[in-house]
Amino acid sequence: MIRKSYLLSPGPTPVPEKVLAAASEPVLHHRTPEFSEVFLEVSEDLKYVFQTKNNVYILASSGTGAMEAAVVNTLSPGDKVITINGGKFGERWGNIGRAYSLNVHEIKLEWGEPFTGEQLSAELKKNPGVKAVFAVLSETSSGSVYDIKSYGEVTSKTSAILVVDAVSGMAAVPCPMDEWKIDVLVSCSQKAFMTPPGLAYISLGEKAWKMYETSKLPKFYFDLKKYKKNLEKATVPWTPAVSLIMQQKKSLKMIKSAGLENVHEHHRIMAEAVRAGVKALGLKLFSKCPGNVVTAIKVPEGIDGKKLVKVMQNKYGSYIAGGQDPYAGKLFRIAHLGYMGAFDMITALSALEMTLSELGYLLEPGISVAEAEKVIKENWK
């Protein structure tokens, strides 16, 4: 048989063919009006997705680079900060903070456990003098989406800034920066932005820029004031990743022409289809606050979780993700993120049925697909 591969993991996600093709165009020189035009268009379209009046800066880095930029541009050694750690990426905020000698108060949640604005409010009261709260919109390690809106309500009433890692969540689930009072928002190219990895995005509101002025952490490559100055000249301080920006232009146009709300709605439908499918198989969702980005599913009793992922990938070419760290082998994750359509979800469920059967799990073939079809049909537009 001809082996086809299906990217069904939470990043890198499938890149639309015309976005791939854009990288075959000759690389524009980055100090020309032609490139400046592309650059400004992408910068503007990023503001549309971030739903902000603030500038969005384009870095040549992974998402982690933009997370680091959020830290070094606002804080000073010894600053007290709160990090909400509900998984790999929440944990990373703490690791970055400690690497930069911040006084990190880490709220360690069980993976998949929700955390409310009220809880955050209580933590802020218990810890006076906190300079920043670090949160994650979509924690891909556990398939959770947190209530960032409530964090904004709470944090905006204090002198602390709210910093949000929206790497996998942005453009998949709502996260309007200005309306939700987010002070620093971070994302990158390879998730719902439907572009290969290599670009990261960061936006700072006024409150965060004020903290820039007193921030004493050292910075150079990620020094956002340099990016701010250069944006006025329609460029960046260092050689930009031109071809990736040319690609990002194309995928942002796709998002804009569909309309951001419709893109969010698409992700909701895909997620509901997957959830309906896996529930029909008698499987259980892992997260108590599941989101529309990636669905984490508990590996059923008696099934080897690592083998499940291997068979899905190696035999059926369906690149889902396994569990990480404490949950390696205990959960698996199906993404419905970015350029994934209804029949990609059907593919995932069908491959999952065949895999589970093969591993000795009793199921009625087709049942998950049937349940997913219901959701898709009801919502098809």
| Cis, bond preceding 365 (omega within 30 deg of 0) | no
Q: Which of 48, 209, 212, 238 binds a second copy (CB under 8 A)?
A: 238
Largest interatomic CA distance in the chain:
63
Angle between helices 88-99 and 63-72 (to 10 degrees): 40
The rounded distance, in Å, linking the Cα atoms of 329 and 307 is 8
CB neighbourhood size of 33 (10 A): 8
Residue 36 in contact with a second copy, rule: CB under 8 A = no
Q: Which of 78, 157, 225, 239 binds a second copy (CB under 8 A)?
A: 239
H or E element in which residue 30 lies: none
Q: How far is the CB of 324 from a second copy (least distance, A)?
A: 10
Q: How far is the CB of 142 from a second copy (least distance, A)?
A: 17
- Secondary structure of residue 288 in the 3-state scheme: coil
Q: How far is the CB of 189 from a second copy (least distance, A)?
A: 9
Output 30 or 267, the one with its CB closest to a second copy. 30
Quick note: the x/- pattern for a second copy over 318-357, rule CB under 8 A, is -x--------------------------------------
Q: Give 292-358 as a DSSP string.
A: SSEEEEEPPTTS-HHHHHHIIIIIT-EE-EE--GGGTTTEEEEE--SS--HHHHHHHHHHHHHHHHH
Residue 254 in contact with a second copy, rule: CB under 8 A = no
Tokens of 377: 């049909």
Output 167 or 273, the one with its CB closest to a second copy. 167
Q: Which of 111, 128, 174 is nearest to 147 (CA)?
A: 174
Residue 64 in contact with a second copy, rule: CB under 8 A = yes
Residue 212 in contact with a second copy, rule: CB under 8 A = no
Q: How far is the CB of 30 from a second copy (least distance, A)?
A: 7
Q: How far is the CB of 274 from a second copy (least distance, A)?
A: 19
Residue 278 in contact with a second copy, rule: CB under 8 A = no
Q: Which of 152, 174, 197, 290 binds a second copy (CB under 8 A)?
A: 197
Q: Which residues contact 33 (CB under 8 A, 6 or more apart)?
A: none
Residue 370 in contact with a second copy, rule: CB under 8 A = no
Tokens of 333: 């994750």
Residue 244 in contact with a second copy, rule: CB under 8 A = yes
Output 20 or 367, the one with its CB closest to a second copy. 20
From edge to edge, which strands make up the β-sheet containing 331-335? Answer: 294-298, 331-335, 321-322
In this structure, what is the dihedral angle of CA atoms 169, 211, 65, 6, given to the nearest 10 degrees? 10
Residue 61 in contact with a second copy, rule: CB under 8 A = yes
Q: Which of 45, 46, 50, 68 binds a second copy (CB under 8 A)?
A: 68
Q: How far is the CB of 176 from a second copy (least distance, A)?
A: 25
Residue 217 in contact with a second copy, rule: CB under 8 A = yes
Q: Which of 41, 48, 60, 307 binds a second copy (CB under 8 A)?
A: 60
Sign of the dihedral through C-alpha 20, 21, 22, 25? positive
Q: Bridge partners of 62?
A: none
Q: Which of 139, 131, 134 is nearest to 160 (CA)?
A: 131
Residue 380 in contact with a second copy, rule: CB under 8 A = no
Stretch that binds a second copy, among 1-9, 37-45, 142-150, 272-280 (CB under 8 A): 1-9
Stretch that binds a second copy, among 21-29, 44-52, 105-113, 368-376 (CB under 8 A): 21-29
H or E element in which residue 117 lies: helix 117-126
The DSSP letter of residue 180 is: T
Quick note: the x/- pattern for a second copy over 74-113, rule CB under 8 A, is ---------------------xx--xxx------------
In this structure, what is the dihedral angle of CA atoms 369, 374, 379, 381, given to the nearest 10 degrees? 70
Residue 190 in contact with a second copy, rule: CB under 8 A = yes
Footprint of a second copy on this chain (CB under 8 A)? 5, 7, 9, 11-12, 14-15, 20-21, 23-27, 29-30, 32, 60-65, 67-68, 95-96, 99-101, 188, 190, 196-199, 217-223, 237-244, 313, 319
